[in-house]
């Protein structure tokens, strides 16, 4: 009984440590974006935010890789995160930069067309494309964390297709991320210090399920 109790407490403490450290590491890796969000008005500083936003790509992908390593029994969090961040940095940055660029174009178009006669038809389409862009980028970062040697084109193609096909899981992830963003606008310290890792974990778990038909296949696993 004592062994079971000790093992249970060790598991709980391990999960708590994982969450707290991932929160800290994600915040540190996304520091330029975090500083801008905390010190500026997003409605005014959005061009700077668009420039800084891609740094979140490697930060999130490294967190996803750390979750996978922890699930496989790897006790080190900091070392795993840093190694994963270095390994996926270039491709994750490219995914996030591409998604940010597409979002900027789509949302600027939404703003420009919202007061026109075409808004009823075009704006909903642009908003759907914006959601699809975010979903694809999120699933693609998880795919990259699972198979860092994969080609970006194959990652993005599979991520878009499967994010739409398994839209229920995608929707859950997006709702959780949206709740995290809303919480950040109200209590940034709480969002960064406590809830970021759980939100990312939900997104990671859902995306891994979404990607299950292709993970390990030649299209995703070969460089």
**Residue 192: predicted pLDDT:** 87
Residue 42 CB partners (closer than 8 Å, separation 6+): 49
What is the Rg, in whole angstroms, of the alpha carbon atoms belonging to the chain?
A: 18
Q: What is the pTM of this model?
A: 0.90
Structure tokens at 5: 């109790």
Mean pLDDT, rounded, of the chain: 89
**Residue 80: predicted pLDDT:** 95
Structure tokens at 128: 């759907």
**Residue 220: predicted pLDDT:** 44
Distance of CA 159 to the CA centre of its chain: 13
* Helix residue ranges per DSSP H, 1-77: 2-29, 31-39, 42-52, 56-71
Cα dist from 206 to 99, 101, 121, 164, 183, whole Å: 20, 25, 31, 13, 21
- pLDDT tens digit sequence for 113-126: 888 877 788 889 99
Q: CA 38 to CA 29: how far, in whole Å? A: 15
Residue 5 CB partners (closer than 8 Å, separation 6+): none
**Residue 219: predicted pLDDT:** 43
Is 194 within 8 Å of 24 (Cβ atoms)?
A: no
Structure tokens at 123: 């704006």
**Residue 198: predicted pLDDT:** 94
Q: CA 167 to CA 186: how far, in whole Å? A: 28
Is 96 within 8 Å of 156 (Cβ atoms)?
A: no
Residue ranges of the chain whose pLDDT lies below 50: 1-2, 217-223
Q: CA 160 to CA 217: how far, in whole Å? A: 17
**Residue 25: predicted pLDDT:** 96
Which of 169, 172, 161, 171 is CA-nearest to residue 217? Answer: 161
**Residue 154: predicted pLDDT:** 92
Residue with tokens 């080609």: 151
- pLDDT tens digit sequence for 175-210: 999 999 999 989 988 888 889 999 999 999 999 999
């Amino acid at each position: 009984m004592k062994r079971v109790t000790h093992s249970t407490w060790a598991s709980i403490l391990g999960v708590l440590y994982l969450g707290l450290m991932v929160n800290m590491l994600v915040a540190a890796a996304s520091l330029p974006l975090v500083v801008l969000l905390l010190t500026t008005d997003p409605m005014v500083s959005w061009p700077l935010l668009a420039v800084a936003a891609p740094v979140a790509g490697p930060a999130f992908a490294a967190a996803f890789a750390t979750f996978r390593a922890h699930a496989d029994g790897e006790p080190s969090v900091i070392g795993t995160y840093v190694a994963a961040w270095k390994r996926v940095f270039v491709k994750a940055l490219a995914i996030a930069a591409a998604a940010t660029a597409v979002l900027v174009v789509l949302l600027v178009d939404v703003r420009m067309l919202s007061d026109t006669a075409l808004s009823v038809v075009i704006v909903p389409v642009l908003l759907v494309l914006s959601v699809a862009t975010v979903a694809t980028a999120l699933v693609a970062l998880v795919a990259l964390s699972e198979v860092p040697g994969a080609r970006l084109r194959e990652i993005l193609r599979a991520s878009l297709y499967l994010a739409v096909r398994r839209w229920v899981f995608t929707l859950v992830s997006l709702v959780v991320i949206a709740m995290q963003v809303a919480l950040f606008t109200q209590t940034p310290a709480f969002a960064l210090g406590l809830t970021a890792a759980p939100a990312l974990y939900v997104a990671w778990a859902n995306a891994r399920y979404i990607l299950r038909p292709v993970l390990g296949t030649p299209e995703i696993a070969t460089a």
